[in-house]
Amino acid sequence: MDKVRRLVLSWEAGLVILAILVVIIGQAVDHDLISSYNLQTTALNNVILLCLALGVAPVIMTGDIDLSIVGTLALSGVVMGDLMAHGTSAGLAITVGLAISLVCGLINGLLVVLFDLPALAVTLGTMGAYTGISFLILGGLAITTFPSSVVSLGSSNLTGTQIPFAVVVVLVIAAIMAYLVHFTTWGKSLFAVGGSRKAALFSGIAVNRVRITTFVISGFLAGVAGLLFLGNYQTAQAGMGASQLLPAITAVILGGVSAYGGTGTIPGVVIAAILLALLQSALGLHGFSGEGQTMAVGFLLIIAIGAPPLGRSARDWWRRRRADVVEIASGGTGESKGGSTSTSGASGVEVRSTAVN
Amino acid sequence: MSAAIVTADVAGSSARRGRIGTLARRSDTALIGLIVIITLVATATLSDFRTLSNINNLLNTTALIAIVAVGEAVVILARQIDLSVGAIVGICAYLVGEWSGHVSGPFGPVVGVLLALGLGAAFGLGNALLVNVFKMPAIIATLATLSIYTGLQIIVNNGSQLYLTQVPKWLAGLRGNAWFGIGTFIWIAVIVLVAVSFILRRTRFGRDIYALGSNPEAAVYLGVKIRLRTYQIFALCGALAGLGGLMYTSQFGNVDATAGSGMNLTVIAAAVVGGVSLFGGAGTALSAVLGALLLGEIQNVLELTRISIFAEQTLQGAAIVIAVAVYAVVSRRLRRPVRREAFLSEHPTLDPAAINAAGGAANG
């Protein structure tokens, strides 16, 4: 019973309810939201975002941040595209590209952990550096022809269905990440490190190793996102995918991962990404242009992150007020009011207003 | 007894402030040295660099970034962050350009500047509201408002562009004007630098900011009004971004829906390169200005040497990483001996020399 209660009251359940609301309202207003074509397009447009979000989620869970994911995406995508354009086989090109993304992540991890530098500043710097290298490789050019295997990875459907192959790939990645984060020792140590680095260190967790691996995973999944980008949009150009950074981090935070680290779930991140995708699609169908959708994402973030604390403080305020009313009703005098004013500073104001009323 | 504790605290904090001051001065001097070296080398080797128009161009571009970076620095000093400044610059650039056209006469510039500061401060207060009332971490709150303000910017622009010919004469000519041979932009930057430096060093607000950035919990116990200060720092940051928006209109002439979109990271980079610690509590307004100047100069030299405009981003990124690493190493080096001295001055009996001497005396 307690388990059921916890599940119903969980963050993820709230997101699911929001998503259902979006679907119901969206479907009622425009009837195309749940059409297979629209779902397919929406899913394909958001696989890259989800892939990046899955990578950066463990980093944020440990209390760090990785802004360089879009730089890594661009660099590995451009390298893959460039190699393929010069006749390298797709397999080799992809291997090299993914290896580069691993190295990018490792560099971040080493800089942040071994030199003990703020992750925000380091990854801000490496974001510029990685994006810049992708500019150095391709200049202002764009590569638009790719082997059919890459294209079909990014934009074809699973045989016999209407489910895009890329979506399956990302969902498999999500399942693997969920296993790693929620069912392994490494995953448990993520939350320990995010909760308190010192406590984690004292309880024998290899804090440095855990933090570095999160950056490596983040880099690697950014590389995978680069590959999906090539397949989906069939373009490789410097700085590609740059607009995906803030939406990806938004999905992670909306998914219930605390920006200070220590909490969050992978299913939450997946549901948040789906919610964002549905919301944008519904708004788009209703004729809202890009800016309306962007603003909606911002408001959603504020409601999701800001509403619970606001609700809590409103509840506390109400309880205090009621307690004060009871106190006054039961013959509380000026002294008792003065007493409560001095002991709890914030409630003092409420006491006075009640007394005036 | 409590009086004794208070005195001890004051003594301790003033000693610590002295130390932080030394550190800041050292990083500032190093930065100035670097800027001077780059300037000398560039002047000697690049004939295009030493032209008056190039120097003016460099300083004007830097002034805009520097002013916004100073605001960002104040926020970072208090251990917060504002990711929405770029959008604030963009909106204010458009609205100030358009609205101040309706006010003619001698009051035009005054109204324009007040409008820029006020609009920017209002957007900043929006950020602070989320941090204070909704209890959101600043990085998330300003991420959300970045989306919202960018959306607003696009709505306000409504697909049109603002051209230099549409804005009032005083605004269009602001960039080209000069007082005593020095461009208006540079004057504005200097005024902002002096004013914010004064506020940070000489007022209670400034001391509170450093206290908040060094240790927020301790600051609360010291009686720092944390919510009020949060409103103030975000409003100040927003107001300076608004001023940056006004200058943006004058500088670039045409303002579209993407105006200022790249500035968020640039101003944070300038502050960080200048030595403002992302952990809060360390750095000055001058740091942010010097950081902006260094980044601007590197960019200018790269453009002139025509290495590749594509190398720019790589080098800027590398500059941030190197700067952060150097500050970390230097501050650790500086802290170590200081800590030991401070400890020994508090516990003179534990000084190895004193113990040896005492041991020698006892033996003898």
Q: Do A128 and B314 touch (CB under 8 A)?
A: yes
> Which ranges in A139-256 belong to alpha helices (H)?
148-155, 165-183, 185-195, 197-202, 207-233, 245-254
Higher pLDDT, B56 or A177: A177
d(CA A75, CA A134): 5
* Euclidean distance between CA atoms A77 and A84, whole angstroms: 11
Mutation site, A66, A243, A245, A305, interface B, largest B CB count within 10 A = A305
Q: Which residues contact B63 (CB under 8 A, 6 or more apart)?
A: B183, B185, B186, B188, B189, B247
Q: Hey, of A130, A301, A310, A349, which one would you mutate to test binding to chain B, going by the most B CBs within 10 A of its CB?
A: A301
Q: Residue B179 forms beta bridges with which residues?
A: B182
Mean pLDDT for the stretch of residues B128-148: 86
Complex ipTM: 0.71
Q: Residue B102: what pLDDT?
A: 73
Q: What percent of chain B has pLDDT over 90?
A: 18
Q: How confident is the model at residue B334 (pLDDT cuts 50, 70, 90)?
A: low
Least confident of A26-30, A64-68, B248-252, B340-344: B340-344
Q: What is the pLDDT of residue A342?
A: 38
The model carries a pTM of: 0.78
Which strand (E) or helix (H) includes residue A236? strand A236-237
Query: What was the pLDDT predicted at A355?
Result: 39
Q: Which of B130, B313, B325 sits opposite A117 (nearest CB)?
A: B325
pLDDT, residue B309, reads 65
CB atoms within 10 A of CB B270: 30
Nearest to B36 by CA among B347, B279, B297: B297
Q: CB distance B312–A132 less than 8 Å? A: yes
Contacts of B346 (CB under 8 A, 6+ apart): none
Q: How confident is the model at residue B170 (pLDDT cuts 50, 70, 90)?
A: confident
- Least CB–CB distance from B143: residue in A122, A129, A249: A249
Question: Could you give the CA distance from residue A33 to residue A279 in angstroms, rounded to a whole number?
Answer: 10
The whole-angstrom separation of Cα B325 and Cα B272 is 11
pLDDT given at position A187 = 93
- Closest chain B residue to the Cα of A129, Cα to Cα: B314
Give the pLDDT mean for B63-71.
93
A312: nearest CA partner in chain B:
B134
For all residues of chain B together, what is the average pLDDT?
80
Identify the segments of chain A with pLDDT beneath 70. Answer: 1, 7-9, 330-357
> pLDDT tens-digit profile of B81-106?
898 898 999 899 888 888 877 776 67
What was the pLDDT predicted at B66? 94
> Residues 224-283, chain B: which have Cβ within 8 Å of A?
257, 265, 268-269, 272, 278-279
pLDDT for residue B183 is more than 50: yes
**Mean pLDDT value across residues B160-173:** 75
pLDDT band at B75 (very low <50, low <70, confident <90, very high): very high
- Enumerate residues 6+ apart whose C-beta is below 8 A from B64: B185, B244, B247, B248, B251
* Closest partner CB to B134 (pick from A71, A291, A310): A310
- pLDDT of B338: 52
Point out the least confidently predicted range of A187-201, B168-182, B195-209: B168-182
Residues of A in Cβ contact (< 8 Å) with B134: 302, 305-307, 309-310
pLDDT at B353 > cutoff 70 = no
Phi, psi of A67, deg, nearest 5 = -90, -10
Most B CBs within 10 A among A294, A299, A315, A349, hence the mutation to make, goes to: A294
| Record: contact B321-A295, CB cut-off 8 A | no
Average pLDDT of span B246-256: 83
Task: Name which residue leads in pLDDT, B57 or B179.
Answer: B57
Residues of A in contact with B313 (CB under 8 A): 128-129, 131-132, 135
Binning pLDDT at 50, 70 and 90, where does residue B347 land?
A: low
Q: What is the pLDDT of residues A5-25, one digit of tens each?
A: 776 667 888 888 888 888 888
DSSP states of B214-235 = H-HHHHHHTT--HHHHHHHHHH
Quote the minimal CA–CA distance from A90 to chain B in Å: 27
- Which DSSP symbol is given to A260? T
Candidate from A122, A132, A301 with C-beta closest to B310: A132
**Which range, A292-296, A297-301, B68-72, B222-226, has the best average confidence (pLDDT)?**
B68-72
Separation between Cα atoms, residue A295 and residue B185, nearest integer Å: 33
- Predicted confidence (pLDDT) at residue B225 exceeds the cutoff of 90: no
Percent of chain B as helix, strand, coil, to the nearest 5:
80, 0, 20
Q: Cα–chain-centroid distance for residue B178?
A: 25
